[in-house]
């Protein structure tokens, strides 16, 4: 009896060891991918925000709209080439209807971000990542801060409103208040 069951137990034990070590290896990979994605997001925000601030200070929001509309896609493109990741910004209420409309997966995550924010979580560290369709996908929420309100808030000055309408006739990205989720960085990498 003992002789008969020992090989079976041994096989079960080995399969277990294999499965456990496999899971921990892929957790390491996930940690690396998450860290890589987060570093790209920091670089994106860390490049765009100072440019936005400088443009606001030197020429006011109408001038800064020009900076946002050219610099933001440019930074995303350059970072994409440099890193090999696909990088965009998306929103449930897109300003740039050509680049910022979320796909089904992004829509679901943005809705979850909204729910998490309403439940009291700050956007500062709000992320979600998943392996889906042979890709690693990562999103980092962008919350509304005071500096955002002149272009995404409830009350826009008439010149800002006019400039936005000129560039983005189907703009939906206004009416936000502090702390709300404005959108998210969305990154993906083929595995
Ligand atoms: C000077 C005006 C201005 C300010 C201030 C501003 N934005 Fe924007 N925002 C824009 C413009 C213009 C676009 C469209 C950029 C493009 O064409 O890719 C945009 C696009 C975005 C997008 C991409 C999704 C979309 O709807 O097109 C996000 C996310 C975003 N802004 C978040 C923020 C956040 C967060 C802040 C504050 C930290 C902020 N913005 C401040 C003008 C502004």
- Does 183 contact ligand 1 (Cβ within 6 A)? yes
Q: Which two tokens stand for residue 24?
A: 């921990």
Whether residue 154 is contained in a domain is answered as yes
Q: What is the pLDDT of residue 33?
A: 96
Q: Quick one: tokens of 32?
A: 């690396």
Q: How confident is the model at residue 117 (pLDDT cuts 50, 70, 90)?
A: very high
Both tokens assigned to 19: 């499965």
| pLDDT of the residue at 16 | 46
Angle at 106 between CA 155 and CA 36, to 5 degrees: 105
Point out the ligand 1 atom lying closest to the alpha carbon of residue 73: 18
Render pLDDT for 1-19 as a digit per residue (tens, 0 to 9). 555 555 555 444 444 444 4
- Segments forming the whole domain that contains residue 160: 27-190
> Given ligand 1 and candidates 55, 96, 103, which is best to mutate, with the most ligand atoms within 8 Å of its CB?
96
Residue 6, domain member (yes or no) = no
Nearest-atom index, ligand 1, CA of 97? 27
Domain count for the chain, please give it: 1
Q: What is the pLDDT confidence band of residue 107, given thresholds at 50, 70 and 90?
A: very high
If pLDDT is split at 50, 70 and 90, which confidence band does 27 have? Answer: confident
Residue 8 lies in a domain: no
List the beta bridge partners of residue 90: 184
Ramachandran category for residue 86: left, alpha or beta (phi over 0 → left; psi -120 to 50 → alpha): beta
Residue 37 lies in a domain: yes
Residue 26's pLDDT is what?
79
Asked whether the predicted pLDDT for residue 94 surpasses 80, the reply is yes
Please give the structure tokens belonging to residue 110.
Answer: 């943005």
pLDDT score of 22: 43
Residue 11 domain-assigned (yes or no): no
**pLDDT of 73 higher than 60:** yes
C-alpha separations of 171 from 3, 81, 97 in Å: 74, 28, 7
Indicate if ligand 1 lies below 6 Å from the C-beta of 69. yes
pTM of the model: 0.88
How many angstroms separate the alpha carbon of residue 159 from the centre of ligand 1? 16
Residue 5 in any domain: the answer is no
């Amino acid at each position: 009896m003992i002789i008969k069951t020992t090989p079976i137990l041994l096989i079960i034990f080995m399969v277990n060891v294999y499965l456990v070590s496999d899971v921990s290896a892929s957790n390491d990979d996930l940690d690396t991918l998450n860290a890589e994605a987060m570093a790209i997001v920091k670089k994106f925000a860390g490049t765009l925000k100072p440019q936005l601030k400088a443009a606001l200070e030197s020429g006011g929001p109408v001038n800064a709209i020009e900076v946002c509309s050219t610099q933001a896609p440019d930074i995303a493109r350059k970072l994409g080439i440099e890193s090999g990741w696909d990088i965009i910004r998306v929103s449930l209420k897109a300003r740039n209807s050509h680049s910022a409309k979320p796909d089904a997966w992004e829509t679901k995550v943005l809705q979850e971000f909204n729910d998490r924010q309403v439940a009291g979580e700050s956007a500062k560290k709000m992320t979600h990542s998943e392996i889906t369709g042979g890709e690693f996908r990562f999103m980092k929420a962008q919350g509304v801060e005071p500096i955002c309100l002149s272009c995404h808030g409830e009350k826009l000055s008439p010149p800002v409103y006019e400039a936005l309408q000129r560039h983005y006739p189907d703009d939906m990205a206004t009416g936000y208040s502090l702390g709300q989720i404005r959108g998210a960085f969305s990154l993906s990498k083929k595995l």
